[in-house]
Amino acid sequence: MEKILEVNNLQVSFHTYAGDVKAVRGVSFELEKGETLAFVGESGCGKTVTAKAIMRLLQPPFAEIKKESKIMYQDKDVMKMSKKELQAYRGNDVGMIFQDPMTSLNPTMTIGKQIMESLMLHRKLDKKQAREEAIEMLRVVKISDAEKRVDDYPHQLSGGMRQRVMIAIALSCNPALLIADEPTTALDVTIQAQIMRLLGDLKKERDTAIILVTHDLGVVANFADRIQVMYAGQIIERGTAKEIFYHAKHPYTWALLASVPKLDTENKGELYALKGTPPDLILEMNHCPFADRCEYCMGICRETMPEETLVDGTHRVSCWLQHPSAPRVQSYYEKCG
Ligand code: SF4
């Protein structure tokens, strides 16, 4: 398989009056062509910041990507790109779909003009060609009556259609990588399913790699090839969708899985809620970030950061209970299966 993205030791801080918020703390991963990787975790875990860092959308003076961080797109060093190179990278190489299509689209411009803008800037099409291509892109994202809809303003479309337009803009330059940041959060459940199906179809047709950012494990179940669970700016568990859904080993991943609504009667309609709050990201962290909320917490968890352990296949987890010399905690191993 062809590797298209490599992120190494990504560290991002936000400068605030209270101190530097270390939002991403040494995240590393790779992505292959046509692969779908999901970043999962609760709000503030660093998943969106990681996605924005890949696009180099975080700029000083408020945000800082530390110089130790390395982001390689194919053979291009994203951290060293000039303004002009970044402009070509964002659009031609990587497209991004944002959370809320209503605020991401310009309300004063027709959707056609917004798609055309990207085509004229990145693919250097003239006005006529760009309009024809914009109509074609609306068809690709399955908007009916594309010739008429192209002259609509965003407020004339439903939430689901607006998100389709965002996908059309992101895909208009045929990028090899699409970053979808909570693409269905602002939509109702049936439209969510349609948008995920559309993304899945487009991925198959165009062999586009996708990074999907979401707090909802339910959304990635049938969609992602691999999943990275993030907590307090770090990846705490990663593996294939099967490894995470059926063989999760980290207590935080269990909590996330337990909070997904199920149709069986086991939870009698009540969803699991994890107690406590994530750690203060201003503080340095030399121990397990989940220690304060973990029912299996041991002395070492509060003293030393757990190393990432290879469990099986591609499945890795950062938890002291996976260390070869860890005590056999019966209840933990029973839950591991
Ligand atoms: Fe819990 Fe310790 Fe594992 Fe952290 S390292 S998840 S505190 S058992």
Average pLDDT estimate for 329-337: 79
The half-sphere exposure of 7 on its side-chain side, counting CA atoms within 13 A, is: 21
pLDDT number for residue 272: 78
17 Ramachandran zone, left/alpha/beta (phi>0; psi -120 to 50): alpha
Cis amide leading into 278 (omega within 30): no
Quickly tell me which residue has 């924005």 as its tokens: 52
- Taking the centre of ligand 1 as the mean of its atom positions, its distance from the CA of residue 310, in whole angstroms, is 16
pLDDT number for residue 21: 97
Testing ligand 1's pocket by substitution, the residue of 292, 296, 307 carrying the most ligand atoms inside 8 A of its CB is 296
Pairing state between β 226-231 and 36-40: parallel
Predicted TM-score of the model (pTM): 0.92
Single-letter amino acid code for the residue at 47: K
pLDDT digits (tens, 9 = 90+) for 177-221: 999 998 887 778 788 888 888 888 888 888 999 999 998 887 888
Nearest-angstrom CA–CA distance, 224 and 198: 14
Testing ligand 1's pocket by substitution, the residue of 230, 253, 301 carrying the most ligand atoms inside 8 A of its CB is 301
Residue 102 scores a pLDDT above 80: no
Name the band, by pLDDT with cuts 50, 70 and 90, for residue 294: very high
Average pLDDT estimate for 144-168: 93
Name the band, by pLDDT with cuts 50, 70 and 90, for residue 328: confident
The terminus-to-terminus CA distance of the chain in angstroms comes to: 32
- Taking the centre of ligand 1 as the mean of its atom positions, its distance from the CA of residue 68, in whole angstroms, is 27
Name the band, by pLDDT with cuts 50, 70 and 90, for residue 264: low
ipTM confidence? 0.99
pLDDT number for residue 216: 81
Nearest-angstrom CA–CA distance, 274 and 254: 10
Fold of 3-83+211-336: Rossmann fold (3.40.50)
Q: Per-domain residue ranges for the chain?
A: 3-83+211-336
